[in-house]
Amino acid sequence: MIPRSSIFKVNNISHLFLIIFPVFSFSLYYYVGFNIQVAKAIYFGFVIISLLVVFPLFLKKEYLYGNLILDLIILMIVTIIISFLFWGQGLLLGFRSTAPYLAIIYFFLLLKFSPNIKFVENLIWFFCIIYICFWLYGLFKAPELVFGLDEDKLTDSRGIFRLSIPGSGIVHLSFFLAVSRYVETRKIKWLYIFSLLFIVIFLHVIRQYIFFSFSVAIIYILFNTRYLWIGIVLSLVFLLVGFNFNVDSDSVFGKLITLSEQQANDQNSGEENTRIQEYRFFFTEYDNNPLGILFGNGVSHSESSFGKYESRINEEYEFYLSDVGYAEIFIRFGLFGLFIYLFIFYRIINQNVPIKYKYAKLYLIFLILTNLLSSSVTYSVIMFSISLYVLECTSKTYQYK
């Protein structure tokens, strides 16, 4: 059931907190004009305050997802201790490195303040517009770095500069919100909006995000519209463009096709796919500590010996946890954490959601798929929390207190 605050306004302090928390969890989008260390310190304070604010909710049992999210938060705190005991990583460093993952506390903040879903959707559009504006300005200024990380890696090797700006997942969530609204209302404006958002997704030149956002959206449209031919035509155009070898090799399309062809040729020549190698290494060779296997090793900090160990893996093997999302969950939070996430995913897939709020489920399915090839679940924590809140509000077990 939808919380009663859909009738009454949430107080302004609650609104402000729900807006500010994500901004600082994104480290102020890594704008070069801000002191990022100060931004992170403020965010750490927000995490601690949030834990105290939402603590009474931890004692309630009637949530569909809340109990599982609480288990994750407890596990994250436990792994800070595990990384101290078995890796010699200081407790403070452990907290600092785990804090981005603890942004999942945002789910409980939403439960605590219980904003109506209309406010949540406005929040999604607000952050989407902010992100796109920063991204466009960043592209305009490139190769000069204005927003994001990795100035030395800011290249246009894929036909356009790839900016690593925190919070990019909001574009995907907004895309599925627009797709859902189009299917629900059949208004042409939503077709234009999700088409424009897909262009933004495409121009981020991350192939798994392009493929899975298109695939999930087109399948949803095909199953929910009479105009099946539109989806069929769009699918054929997408495939034809994707396999058209006459595309200009210097274009964004051309660079992506060339990269895909190169990787396919490597596999055909007998070279094993890098991500398969990464999954095998992280699941079988990374660590033999039984406690780490069960409950995880925690999140490493670059300044600790634990972080230096992972840096050596990056340098010697060129294996990265950010490439293999489910392996990252296993390394950070063990089999127990992996089971919690998989159980959350099971509930997401099996939950019956009203068409008006289907976008939350679509986005989470998108995360489940892309997490095979990237750390999208643990990277897009705020959007993950927002989507789960929408599903929680529409579930039969949710009761506003």
Sequence ranges of the domains in the chain:
4-394
Residue 255 pLDDT: 47
Mean pLDDT of the region 109-120: 93
User: Residue 45 in contact with residue 25, Cβ under 8 Å?
Assistant: no
Mark 212-236 as b/e (b = at least 16 C-beta within 10 Å).
bbbebbbebbeeeeeeeeebeebee
User: Cβ of 49: how many Cβ atoms within 10 Å?
Assistant: 13
Q: Helix 305-317 vs helix 66-87: angle between axes, to the nearest 10 degrees?
A: 90
Tokens linked to 279: 């999954």
Residue 143 pLDDT: 86
Name the residue among 210, 197, 165 with its Cα closest to residue 380.
165
Binning pLDDT at 50, 70 and 90, where does residue 172 land?
very high
CA-to-CA dists, residue 125 to 104, 315, 358, 393, angstroms? 20, 39, 16, 19
Which is higher by pLDDT, 205 or 60? 205
Question: Using CA atoms, how far apart are residues 127 and 296, in angstroms rounded to an integer?
Answer: 32
User: Residue 158 in contact with residue 252, Cβ under 8 Å?
Assistant: yes
pTM of the model: 0.89
**pLDDT winner (highest mean) among 137-146, 228-237, 242-251, 381-390:** 381-390
What pLDDT digit, counting tens, does each position of 312-329 carry? 999 999 999 999 999 999
What pLDDT digit, counting tens, does each position of 24-68 carry? 999 999 999 999 999 999 999 999 999 999 998 888 777 899 999
Question: Using CA atoms, how far apart are residues 62 and 84, in angstroms rounded to an integer?
Answer: 34
Percentage of the chain lying above the pLDDT 90 cut: 71
